[in-house]
Structure 1
Amino acid sequence: MMKITLFALAALAVVCALPQDTAQAQPPVQIVKQDSVVDVDGYNFEFETSDGTSRQEQGEYKNTTDQQGLSVKGSYKYTAPDGQQISVTFVADKNGYQPTENKDAPAQ
């Protein structure tokens, strides 16, 4: 579970570290929604920021003959530097990280 948490934090750091135009001062991004629940069987978290970036994820511990370990489902969205809306849904399980870009993401 720690690897998934580190991955989530690394992904967030990459999104937050995108180059910004220093010529135009923009207001700092605020967290407008944040929720999380963690227990022995898994976790669930979501957040949204004032610039429209959001992420939600659910992780569940599986202990079956088919799979043993963490199974994660989630999605994230953000606005790319060129203004394009990026929206990705993903599954991470015994088959690895499997992202799917959502082409019909609504514009903000």
Structure 2
Amino acid sequence: MKMIIGVLVLVVAVAYAAPQGRTAEADSVIVNQSSDIQPDGSFNYAYETNNGIKVEDQGTIKQIRVPKADENGRSIGEEVVQVSVQTGSFQFTAPDGQIYTLRYIADENGFQPQADHLPVAPSV
């Protein structure tokens, strides 16, 4: 038992003594930040770091009508549901110095990104 405890103490000591890797991301700091949250569920926030990362996001709640079905899957009318709608963007600098920006909307139709660097499906 003393042998196991001794080995465990040695492993922990070596782990703490090992040099910790640092990256530019680990040393980055937020240089600008804002946020606003409203009682109706709408919000917006933005921040920017000293290494070129920029993020913006706005959100609202909207009501939409969706088909309502019974337990057998038969349509029995419509119901009103609330969905979150978010729009925003983020930007970062790649290791090769290239700046990438992505804009998006996320709503009842899913996440819809737009950016010059994203692949495009071939036309039919």
TM-score > 0.5, shorter chain as reference:
yes
Name the counterpart of 1:36. Answer: 35
Q: Deviations over 1:75-95 (max 9, x none)?
A: 000011222211000000011
**Count of aligned positions:** 81
Identity among equivalent positions (%) equals 32
Q: Which moved more, 1:43-52 or 1:74-83?
A: 74-83
Aligned pairs for 1:24-63 within 5 A: 26=24, 28-39=27-38, 40-63=40-63
Name the counterpart of 2:94. Answer: 80
TM-score by length of 2: 0.57
TM-score by length of 1: 0.65
Unaligned runs of 5+ in 1: 1-21, 104-108
- Equivalent-residue separation in structure 1 for 2:23 and 2:92 (angstroms): 20
Distance 1:48 1:65, change over 3 A: same
Q: Give, in angstroms, the shift of residue 41 of structure 1.
A: 2.9
Work out whether residues 29 and 49 of structure 1, in 8 Å CA contact, stay in contact via their aligned partners in 2: yes
- Equivalent-residue separation in structure 2 for 1:35 and 1:102 (angstroms): 27
- Equivalent-residue separation in structure 1 for 2:88 and 2:23 (angstroms): 32
Q: Which moved more, 1:48-57 or 1:65-74?
A: 65-74
- Equivalent-residue separation in structure 2 for 1:36 and 1:87 (angstroms): 21
Distance 1:62 1:52, change over 3 A: same
Q: Deviations over 1:9-52 (max 9, x none)?
A: xxxxxxxxxxxxx6x97582110011111123311000000011
Q: Give, in angstroms, the shift of residue 68 of structure 1.
A: 3.0
- Equivalent-residue separation in structure 2 for 1:68 and 1:25 (angstroms): 42
Unaligned runs of 5+ in 2: 1-20, 67-80, 118-124
Compute the RMSD of aligned alpha carbons. 2.4
Work out whether residues 89 and 102 of structure 1, in 8 Å CA contact, stay in contact via their aligned partners in 2: no
